[in-house]
Amino acid sequence: MQNKKLFFQKTKSPLLPGVWQTRKQQNTASGFTIIETLVALSLFTFAILGLIVITSQGISDVNFAKNKLTASYLSQEGIETVRSIRDSRVLAGESWQAIFSTNALTGLGNCTVTAQSNGCDIDAYTLAIDTCATASRAGCGPLHYDSATGAFRIASIGQSFPASAFNRVISLSEVSPQEVRVTSTVTWDQGTNQKSVTMTETLFNWATVTPLSQTGQ
């Protein structure tokens, strides 16, 4: 039987200079290079996707913090507006009952939750009162933003300004004949969720407080 010899073409290795390899070895080395490239591209893609997700979450968190800060300011503004009305009208000599009556549009009793009203919103500049028709966040309509002054105006006053994302409802409840609890709630949409900030404070009829100098103490 005649012996047959197998011959392999030898070439220089592209990976290891100075080392000879057969054609079969060269093809194997090239295959591993392609696999490594694909793995590297996959890792790079996942890294980029991770950065995009983190960046998007960071932007969302910044937006939420900004909106919550604005809502907290508007909620506190609602309470301070009621306090301002109480103080100015008590100093003007009005009775507690007149201040919290529902006889006029300026009566804070319009902010009491009743069968006809589900709270109100008050313009911090004009002290005008919008009575909320329903208990929902849309009961008083959205606040409108005046970019010239940086103020948020109630729906009936600020129609000429763009509507903001914030709604405010101020509600009053009687604690005693000389004491009222004020609740101010601001809501807004954050993505697909509704967020809110609520602040509560109790106001007293300080005009009825007897000074210590008159009590003999």
Is pTM, for the whole model, over 0.85? no
What is the distance between the alpha carbons of residues 98 and 180, in angstroms, rounded to a whole number? 14
Confidence of residue 181 (pLDDT cuts 50, 70, 90): very high
pLDDT at 216: 46
Query: What does the pLDDT look like over 38-64, one tens digit per residue?
Result: 777 777 787 777 777 676 666 666 788
Q: Nearest Cα to 137, choosing from 173, 158, 163?
A: 163
98 contacts: CB under 8 Å, gap ≥ 6: 89, 107
Are 54 and 47 spatial neighbours (Cβ–Cβ below 8 Å)? Answer: no
User: pLDDT value at position 178?
Assistant: 87
pLDDT in tens, 143-158: 999 989 889 999 888 7
Is the pLDDT score of 217 beyond 50? no
Domain boundaries, the chain: 50-210
The answer to whether the CB of 81 falls within 8 A of the CB of 127 is yes
- Rounded Cα gap, residues 57 and 37, in angstroms: 30
- Which whole number is the average pLDDT over 3-8? 47
**Three-state SS for 22?**
strand
Going by C-alpha positions, the residue among 147, 183, 185, 192 that lies closest to residue 166 is 185
Average model confidence (pLDDT) across the chain:
77
